[in-house]
Every structure is written in structure tokens, then in C-alpha cells.
A and B are shown apart, each in its own frame.
Chain A
Amino acid sequence: MTPDPRRHEAPAPPTSRPGRRPDESMTLLISILERPLDPGYATAADRREAAGLPRSTGTRTVTVLVATIVTGLLLSLGALALRRPSTSVQKARAELISQVESRRSAVDRQSAQLHTLQNQVDSLQAEALTAGQGDQAKQRLAVLGLAAGADAVTGQGIRLVIDDAPGSDAGSADGNPRTQAKSEDGKVLSKDLQVVVNGLWQAGAEAIAINGQRLTSQSAIRFAGEAILVNFRPLTRPYTISAIGGSSALQSAFAETDAGSYLRALQDNYGIRASMGGVKSLTLPAAASLTVRSAKVPRPTGPATPSSTPRSSTTTSESSP
């Protein structure tokens, strides 16, 4: 082993007989583990030594430069090409997020536009009504607009805040189906809100909004997954129901309805929190979307009023959502 250039080889275990190793059958593993260096280097060095040259060519040659450039290129290309999948996922994500944001801002823009257009319609309507023989029609329009939820309303009223039973969130967080089932009991359901709202209508409320969503004859209170939707907008708890009406009369009348006892049962049996209070001045916004389903031109009143009829046609006497 003396002039061997492969001097980094591990020496054979001392227990073995010379020339024969106990792990001789595992030549592949031995050659991988003990001779990691390309044997070509050693033989080339031996050849150069025999020819009288220094053993190493040195690293200052054009070949080395070219080879290292190619190696660096390969490394960076590999890094770039193999990192691309994750960046494309991020790109798709960013694109989706920007799409969501742009759509959202478009919705905001359009609802602002809708609002100004509605104001225009209102002022034109008022103009048309004053021009013609409008007094009766104007009064009728005001009443119908109130009932239909087309106009914002301000007045005395009550505010009813309903919330899930305390601790119903903590139960659902651990993902255990049993505790989840228990916590479901303490949750306010869409049905509860429906019953309460119908009770308020029954008690004589003139206008109702839940969390700022004005209820009209076409509003639906329904469930979508975990969330309660009103006017197709998801609501978050607590649910604040604002109702316009004589506050003390409304409160006592509501307590006497079936909905009042239903709400008390919810409080007693499921721990759902509810608090009711009179408010001196409540303002309910106009409903976001009123569409004309049917319209007709009134015969005897003349040409000045048709603009009022589409609005009134959205109203029905049916007041439950």
C-alpha cells in the first residue's frame, strides 16, 4: 500500500486474512463507500508521472473553465426549472386573489351606482308627482315604499340582539363530532330568525332589518352551510334585528305572540342569548335589490303617474319573509 495514490482507502480490517476480506461479496457497496473518487484521476496521474510530468494538470486550463461554466449553468437551470411548479401555484393563487378583489370592487362600484340611480329615480318620481295630480299617489307611494323596503326608514323602534349560546364556539373547535353535536344546539338557526321576524311582523313592526339587511316581501332567511343568509348576504353573529314601531307596544305585543314564547324557550332550553331594548331613533337602510316583477299602466289617472306603478307593484300584502 505504499505508493498507492488511493491512500484514502480505509485499510482492511486487521482480523481478516491478507488478500481476502470478510465482506468480499459486497463489492458494490465497498466500491461505493471506499472509493468515491473516480479511479480515472489516479490512473491519469500515474500516467503523467511515468511521462515525467507533474501528477496534476492544475486547474488553470481552458477545459476546466468551460466545464465549470457548464456545471454552473446546469445548477442554476436545474434550480430555476425545478422551482417553477411552486411558483406557478403561487401565481395561480395570486391571480385568483386579484380576481376576487377586482370583482368585489366592481360590486362595490355598481352598488354605489345603483344607489345614485335610485336617488335619481326617486327625485324624478317626486317631480313627476308634483307636476301631475300627485298628492294621493304620493302618499300611497310613501306607504308602499315603506312596506316594500324601497326607502330608508327612521323612527322609534326596538332592537333585538340574538346570539349563540356561550361556549358553542369552543365546543366546535376541537373537531370532536360529539361535542360538535352538542354545540349545534346552542347555535342560532335560520329557522329561529324566521320565527322571530314573523313574530315581529305579527306584533305590528313596520320595517325590519337584520344586521343592516332590510327585509322585504322577497327577502329570504336561509341557511347556507354554517352561515345564515339574508338577502343572499351571509351574516355573522350576533344577529341584531331592528324593527320600527312603537317600542313599548311592539315589545309587549311581541312577548304575547308565539314567537315570543319560542324565543323564551330558546333561551331557557338552549342557552341562546337574546336581549331586547327600545330605541328612540332607529334608521333602517333601503333594501339593496328591488326588481320589478310586474307592472301595469293605470287607466284613469293619466300619463303623469306610470313611474310610480312599478315601485308599488313590488309590494304585496304578504309580510312574512
Chain B
Amino acid sequence: MIPLLGLVGGVLVGLLWGPDVPLFLQPYLPIAVIAALDAVFGAVRAVLDGIFNDKVFVISFLANVVVAAFIVFLGDQLGVGAQLSTGVVVVLGVRIFSNVASIRRHLFGA
């Protein structure tokens, strides 16, 4: 319940407050969003597995976002930003999909 409330609250704050994201942060935003989604789905799966740990969740969340942003930044500096972004999206996307598949098995038994 609390995580759901937190998510909804965060979304509401974002929608109502709606601060402008600084321009230099904008390229990292899509990657950061996907990394955050990955952390969230991983956490949901850990809850269902019965091994959820809040510290691990926070750290994996922060680390995912920071590392993903750093990879994109590095790619931009090397001139392969788009390709590295694609790589990050593919890896995180695969992880999200298999985590969601596992959540689905937990919830629906199929």
C-alpha cells in the first residue's frame, strides 16, 4: 500500500509542481526513466519472492539511474550516444520483460 501511495504521490507532485528539467539533463531523462522502471519491477518481483529489502531497492534504484545516465554521457562524449542509449534500453528492457514475466507467474500462476 505504502509504495503505491508513494508512486501516486510522486506522480501527482510531478504533474502539479511540474518543474522544468534543465536542458543539459534532458538527454538522460528517458534512460533514467527506464532504469527507474527496471528498479521498480525488480522490487515488485522481490516482494513477491519474499526477499524484498528496502536498502537494496533504494541502492539499486539510484545506481541504475546514475549508471545509465553516466553511460549515455560517456556515449555522448565519444560520439556514440545514440548507440549506447539503445544498448542501455535493450538491456534494461530485457530485464523489465523477464521480471514482469516472473511477476505474472507469481500472480496468475501461468
Q: Do A and B come from one complex?
A: yes
Q: Which residues of A contact B (CB under 8 A)?
A: 5, 8, 32-34, 36-38, 40-42, 44-45, 48, 55-61, 63-82
- Residues of A within 8 Å of B95, CB to CB, are 32, 36
Query: Shortest distance in angstroms between A252's beta carbon and chain B's nearest beta carbon?
Result: 76
A75/B51 contact (C-beta < 8 A), A36-B94, A41-B56 known: no
B59 nearest CB neighbor, chain A only: A40
**Nearest-Cβ distance from residue A303 to partner chain B, whole angstroms:** 70
How many inter-chain residue pairs (CB < 8 Å) link A and B? Answer: 163
Shortest distance between the CB of B27 and any CB in chain A (Å): 11
Pick from B11, B18, B20, B47: contact of A75, CB under 8 Å:
B11
Separation of A5 and B46 alpha carbons in the complex (Å): 10
- Check B2 for interface membership: any CB of A closer than 8 A: yes
Query: Which of B5, B14, B37, B47 makes the CB contact (< 8 A) with A56?
Result: B47
Instruction: Provide the bound-state CA to CA distance between A316 and B51, in Å.
Output: 98
Q: Are B15 and A41 in contact (CB under 8 A)?
A: no
Check B110 for interface membership: any CB of A closer than 8 A. Answer: no
B21 touches A77 (CB 8 A): yes
Q: Which residues 10-41 in B have Cβ within 8 Å of A in the complex?
A: 10-15, 18-21, 26, 29-30, 32-33, 36-37, 39-40
What 9 pairs across the A-B complex have the smallest Cβ distances? A72-B10, A76-B14, A68-B6, A45-B51, A78-B33, A36-B98, A69-B10, A73-B10, A44-B53
Please determine whether B49 and A5 come into contact, CB atoms closer than 8 angstroms: yes
**Residues of chain A contacted by B12 (CB below 8 angstroms):** 72, 76
Between B18, B47, B52, the greatest number of chain A beta carbons within 10 A of the residue's beta carbon is seen for: B52
Hey, which chain A residues are within 8 Å of B46, CB to CB?
A: 37-38, 41, 56
B31: nearest chain-A partner, CB-CB: A78
Q: How many residues of B contact A (CB 8 A)?
A: 54
Evaluate whether A72 and B51 lie within 8 angstroms (CB atoms) in the complex, with A36-B94, A78-B29, A78-B30 already known: no
> In the complex, what residue of chain A is closest to B57 when comparing beta carbons?
A67
Q: CA–CA, A42 to B40, complex, Å?
A: 16
Is B30's CB under 8 angstroms from A72's CB?
no
Q: A32-B95, A38-B46, A69-B7 are in contact. List 16 more A-B contacts (CB 8 A).
A: A36-B94, A36-B98, A40-B59, A44-B51, A56-B50, A60-B2, A61-B2, A65-B5, A67-B61, A71-B36, A74-B10, A74-B14, A76-B10, A77-B21, A81-B20, A82-B30
- Given contact pairs A36-B94, A68-B7, A77 touches B53 in the complex (Cβ within 8 A): no
Interface of B is mostly: helix
Instruction: Tell me, rounded to whole Å, the shortest Cβ–Cβ distance linking A7 to chain B.
Output: 8
Within 8 Å CB of B36, what residues of A?
Answer: 71, 74-75
Q: List 6 A-B contacts (CB under 8 A).
A: A8-B102, A67-B57, A69-B6, A72-B7, A73-B10, A74-B10
Q: Chain B residues with Cβ under 8 A from A79's Cβ?
A: 33
Among B3, B47, B55, B98, the most chain A Cβ lie within 10 Å of the Cβ of B3
Query: CB within 8 A of B19: which of A58, A75, A77?
Result: A77
A73-B14, A76-B15, A81-B29 given as contacts; is B6 within 8 A of A41 (CB)? no
